[in-house]
Amino acid sequence: MKDKVSAIQKEELLKQYFGHSAFRPGQEALIDALTGGRDVLGVMPTGAGKSVCYQIPALLLPGITLVVSPLISLMKDQVASLKQVGVAAAYINSSLSYPQYLEVLRRARRGAYKIIYVAPERLSTEGFLAFAQEVELSLLAVDEAHCVSQWGQDFRPSYLKIAEFCKTLPKRPPIGAFTATATDEVKRDIIKLLDLREPLELTTGFDRPNLFFSVETPKSKAVWLHSFLAVRREQSGIVYCATRKNVEKVCEDLQERGFEATRYHAGLEDAERRANQEDFLYDRARVMVATNAFGMGIDKSNVSFVVHYNMPKNIESYYQEAGRAGRDGAKAECVLLYAPSDVHTAKYMIEHSEDNEELSEEERKLIRKRDLERLIRMAGYGKTPDCLRRYILRYFGEQAPVHCGNCGNCCGEMERVDITTEAQKILSGVTRVERKYFHSLGITMVVHMLVGSKEQRIYDLGLDTLPTYGALHGLERSTVRRYIDCLIEQGFLRQTEEEHPVLCTTERAKDVLFHGETVVYVGKKQKKPEKKETPADLAADRGLYAALSALRATLARQESVPAYVVFTNATLLDMAAKQPRTTDELLAVNGVGSRKAERYGAQFLRCIQSWRETDR
């Protein structure tokens, strides 16, 4: 009986506060465990909905729920969102002045808050420890729990203090650890280092059905990006670059061309970083050009695309960064701009990465080796002709259908070209280089030689005297390069492991050169970026979505919150589709809870009403 009551309660809370009518996979089990006093480890992809897994228990349990979170900007927005829906919440971090901090503690002692977000560093300060002794803590939620593990790139030493903090409490509350990182090492670390006790471990599916994945190999990334953005002027998105220099370059270029772009990387002054991030969150800048320093905890839910200008170091990073698109559940695009040279840049960065002082030489070597293996899998994503979603899901150990029907490779046209003749020329070119110099050359020089380039280095090396000089005259360099990649992949060529890798033939090259083996290149047809019709476009065409989103912008400005804190894009889309006339109908829109209906309902209903009268 008791279970039944709480089942009804949970769902009511989900609807009433958050406006959702059903739980997503995994949420209910995690909530039940936490409210029942059991520790949990919830592994869910970004955007799956981890927050409600501790926010609903927080509402059901009698005392205060502490949420440990690594990022200040995230806390502020989370608390703003909670206040919007009527949950008493506060945050404690370095952005508060000392008097403000004391005020939060004072009010918390009087029971003013159900949820308090706190930066991990706080947990070991005297004042906070004393506070924690006095009040009733019902739950400790640890967001981005992978930060406790040294295996990840987000390691935060202060996370190691969480377990100690719990030991000082008069009564240990259940601990809920949440992360999007699913590797076994990290999961084991979290359990051990946070001292979770027989936790319910729950890993939900990693698929994000609303994301459309694609890989593009344009001749010029800059030109590609211009045409991509030109047809998405109304949308907001992130462009990730590998280096600070690239961020500067790309951002400047976009601004010169009239795009509302801003930038973010670790080399900027704090003040500029903060200002740029706010510009993006508040939709004053539509495009954020950034290094991977931008992101963890970015809770902007109306990101419609994430373009990777350069390839990240591994699929984990890629999926996490790309996953910042479409967090509200609306359709969104994730594009990787693949260039083979990015693989080398990434390799270089792994080999010259700053050493983590806390690791031994042995551990460092191990980590490098593992990082290089992961890089190869990432590069594989850029080259695979198969379903991209399946490639990612299988990487995370999940089953997936052969075709998802919703990625660039499933939808795009593939070309299959018999390149046996070209392959023979390439392989014999490499063989001749090997013979002439007793060692080989890097890919770039081989390409130059094959297309008959007139670069000085060619003459210096005497490559113009080889019979294969200019053998592929007339082909684009990028095409020759793709064919070489294809030959490497199919095992006819290989690259050495040195710092400056050179190209060598393998035993199997003979099969193509002398035994009639054919080579087929399977790749995507090169095409211009085109705009996909999203439900937003359809709704926008009809004008209602635009009207709703203008109203949202006005309200957001009045209240100084980002637009998505009022309603997410997904909610506006649903509203535009359902066109509610009454408050009851409005409550049936996904993302409209009773508090928001009360607060904004009248204005949105009026907006829909007047659209109905005039615009149709």
The residue ranges that bind ligand ADP (CB under 6 A) are: 18, 20, 23-24, 27, 44, 46-52, 299, 301, 327-329, 568
Question: What is the smallest separation between the CB atom of 78 and ligand ADP, expressed in angstroms?
Answer: 8
Question: What is the smallest separation between the CB atom of 446 and ligand ADP, expressed in angstroms?
Answer: 45
138's CB contacts (< 8 A; 6+ apart) are: 57, 58, 61, 62, 63, 64, 65, 173
* Nearest residue (CB) to ligand ADP, 181 versus 246: 181
* Nearest residue (CB) to ligand ADP, 9 versus 526: 9
Question: What is the smallest separation between the CB atom of 54 and ligand ADP, expressed in angstroms?
Answer: 9
Q: How far apart are CA 320 and CA 378, in angstroms?
A: 13
* Nearest residue (CB) to ligand ADP, 135 versus 588: 588
208 touches, from Zn ion, ligand ADP, none (C-beta below 5 to 8 Å by class): none
568 touches, from Zn ion, ligand ADP, none (C-beta below 5 to 8 Å by class): ligand ADP
Question: What is the smallest separation between the CB atom of 342 and ligand ADP, expressed in angstroms?
Answer: 27
308 touches, from Zn ion, ligand ADP, none (C-beta below 5 to 8 Å by class): none
* Nearest residue (CB) to Zn ion, 228 versus 391: 391
Q: Which residues pair with 415 in a beta bridge?
A: 523
* Nearest residue (CB) to ligand ADP, 81 versus 468: 81
Element (H, E) at 480: helix 477-489
- Amino acid at site 249: K
Sign of CA dihedral 186, 189, 191, 195: negative
Q: How far apart are CA 283 and CA 287, in angstroms?
A: 9
407 touches, from ligand ADP, Zn ion, none (C-beta below 5 to 8 Å by class): Zn ion
As a whole number of Å, the end-to-end CA separation of the chain is 51
Give the residues lining the site for Zn ion (CB under 5 A): 387, 389, 404, 407, 410
23 touches, from Zn ion, ligand ADP, none (C-beta below 5 to 8 Å by class): ligand ADP
263 touches, from ligand ADP, Zn ion, none (C-beta below 5 to 8 Å by class): none
295 touches, from Zn ion, ligand ADP, none (C-beta below 5 to 8 Å by class): none
Left (φ > 0), alpha (ψ -120 to 50) or beta: where does 142 sit? beta
Question: What is the smallest separation between the CB atom of 9 and Zn ion, expressed in angstroms?
Answer: 40
Q: How far apart are CA 432 and CA 505, in angstroms?
A: 10
Strand pairing class (211-216; 237-240)? unpaired
Element (H, E) at 256: helix 244-256
**Residue closest to ligand ADP (Cβ):** 49
Count the Cβ atoms, other than its own, within 10 Å of residue 441: 23
Q: Of the candidates 391, 466, 400, 480, which has an alpha carbon nearest to the alpha carbon of residue 429?
A: 466
Question: What is the smallest separation between the CB atom of 402 and ligand ADP, expressed in angstroms?
Answer: 28
* Nearest residue (CB) to Zn ion, 111 versus 401: 401
* Nearest residue (CB) to ligand ADP, 468 versus 571: 571
* 8 Å CB contact between 185 and 149: yes
Place of tokens 């008069």: 170
Residue 50: exposure state from Cβ atoms within 10 A (0-12, 13-18, ≥19): buried
Left (φ > 0), alpha (ψ -120 to 50) or beta: where does 37 sit? left
* Nearest residue (CB) to ligand ADP, 286 versus 327: 327
47 touches, from Zn ion, ligand ADP, none (C-beta below 5 to 8 Å by class): ligand ADP
